[in-house]
Amino acid sequence: MAVGAMIALRGELGHRPVGPLGRALATRAANLSKMLEARGPISPDAMSVEDARAIMRTFYRDNGRADGRDILSATGKMEHSEGVAVGINLRPGAASGYEVCTMRTAGCTAACVLETSARGKWANVRDGRDLLTEFLATEPQAFITLLAHELRTLVRKHGAVAFRPNIASDLRWEYIAPELFSIFGVRGYDYTKWNPLKHRGSLANYRLTYSVSESPLSEAIGAAYVKSGGTAAVVVDAPKHAVPAVWNGQPAVDGDATDDRTTDPTGCYVLLAVKADGKGDTSGFVKQLPLAVAS
Ligand code: SF4
């Protein structure tokens, strides 16, 4: 039996071909959040860590790699966050063959820093993210068991961990594996393009920052969320750490000072300086500073 077919049979959600061939054959990307939500909630402890490791080993070896890898990584400004901040680096958009950003727009896709930064363009980085995405899609139980094990290990070592499940995705983890946010010492956070007032669940230990896109509706959702005490991120055409302290009449913080969004004040904007291919944005995703601030 072909390797791809073996994995598809073994995987709990493996109803599509996997591996490079599978990606090439896929005509319409499967929505990974919906797939996992339908399977959830997935308890991390429904499988032993040893069994999960064995499944990961087999998966990675079948795909021509060594035994496996850590699920969690720290990238970019997460390395500059106070304390330990870690997250999951899937392949953004639908490039892996799975759609991981249901609400993405043309503007954010073109400007996506995870895909258009120098490192995000490296073939080996993209391949690694593709494979991790495929591992989550086809072996969600093993993925989540290993993820919880890594979080618990980090908490034992560091005392507390800031956890961003969607570094380069927008999966609704509160429905997929809510127990992850009950792990002692873990505080969760994410950016999301789902309307948090309507389409995201609410977990006390999982803080969501709405991510404003180029659409006027999105700007209105962001404003309503900030007024309700939430936080909304806006990418602005400004140098790093030179963003205004007020946006749209509300207080604003420098979103590049740290990646950890769990400590932001309530009811404020989070301003992020434009990066990578976002500097060529013409969609309106990147906002111009008001003239009084820019001059
Ligand atoms: S939703 Fe976020 S991660 Fe996904 S393509 Fe847009 S900017 Fe990138």
Amino acid in the structure at residue 193: K
CB count, 10 Å around CB of 236? 23
* Mutation pick for ligand 1 pocket among 193, 208, 235 (CB with most ligand atoms within 8 Å): 193
Give the dihedral of Cα atoms 42, 44, 48, 51; nearest 10 deg: 60
Span from the CA of 164 to the centroid of ligand 1 (angstroms): 14
What distance in Å separates the CA atoms of residue 146 and residue 94, rounded to the nearest whole number? Answer: 24
Backbone torsions φ then ψ of 87, nearest 5 degrees: -165, -175
Query: From ligand 1's centre to the CA of 256, what distance in Å?
Result: 17
- CA of 214 from ligand 1 middle (Å) equals 13
User: Amino acid identity, residue 121?
Assistant: K
Return the closest-CA partner of residue 250 out of 235, 272, 265: 265
Would the CB of 170 count as within 6 Å of ligand 1? yes
- The C-alpha angle 58, 140, 33, rounded to 5 degrees, equals 140
User: Hey, what are 225's tokens?
Assistant: 């969320």
Is 109 close to ligand 1, i.e. is its CB under 6 Å away? yes
The alpha carbon dihedral of 229, 289, 281, 168 has a sign of negative
- Residue 133's Cβ-count burial label (10 Å; 0-12, 13-18, 19+) is buried
Tell whether ligand 1 has an atom less than 6 A from the beta carbon of residue 32: no
For residue 84, what pLDDT is reported? 86
CA of 172 to the centre of ligand 1 (A): 14
Q: What is the pLDDT of residues 7-40, one digit of tens each?
A: 333 333 433 434 433 343 445 799 999 999 999 8
The ranges of the chain with pLDDT < 70 are 1-27, 75-82, 291-295
Q: Residue 16 pairs with which residues in a beta bridge? A: none
Helix (H, G, I), strand (E, B) or coil at 133: helix
CA of 248 to the centre of ligand 1 (A): 23
Mind listing the pLDDT tens digit for each residue in 67-94? 888 999 985 555 555 678 899 999 999 9
Residue 26 has a pLDDT of: 45
Per DSSP, the chain holds a count of helices (H) and strands (E) of 11, 11
CA distance 289 to 209: 21
Q: Give the integer Cα–Cα distance in Å for 128 and 42.
A: 24
C-beta 93 within 6 A of ligand 1 = yes
Whether the Cβ atoms of residue 210 and residue 195 lie closer than 8 Å to each other: yes
Give the number of the atom of ligand 1 that is nearest the alpha carbon of residue 109: 5
Q: Is 114 in the pocket of ligand 1 (CB under 6 A)?
A: yes
Which residue is closest in CA terms to ligand 1's atom 8? 112
- The atom of ligand 1 lying closest to the CA of 105 is 6
Verify whether ligand 1 is closer than 6 Å to residue 92 (CB atom).
yes
What confidence score (pLDDT) does residue 18 get? 42
226 lines ligand 1 (CB under 6 A): no
Closest CA to 172 of 269, 31, 74: 31
Q: What b/e sequence results for 100-109 when a residue is b if at least 16 CB atoms lie within 10 Å of its CB, and e otherwise?
A: bbbebbebbb
Measured in angstroms, how far is the CA atom of residue 87 from the centroid of ligand 1? 15
Task: Determine if ligand 1 sits within 6 Å of the CB of residue 99.
Answer: no
Task: Indicate the DSSP class of residue 241.
Answer: T
Please list, in sequence order, all residues whose beta carbon lies within 8 angstroms of the beta carbon of residue 35, skipping any fewer than 6 positions away. 13, 98, 137
- Tell me the best of 117, 121, 170, 194 to mutate to test the pocket of ligand 1, counting ligand atoms within 8 Å of each CB and taking the most: 170
Instruction: Give the pLDDT of residue 277.
Output: 81
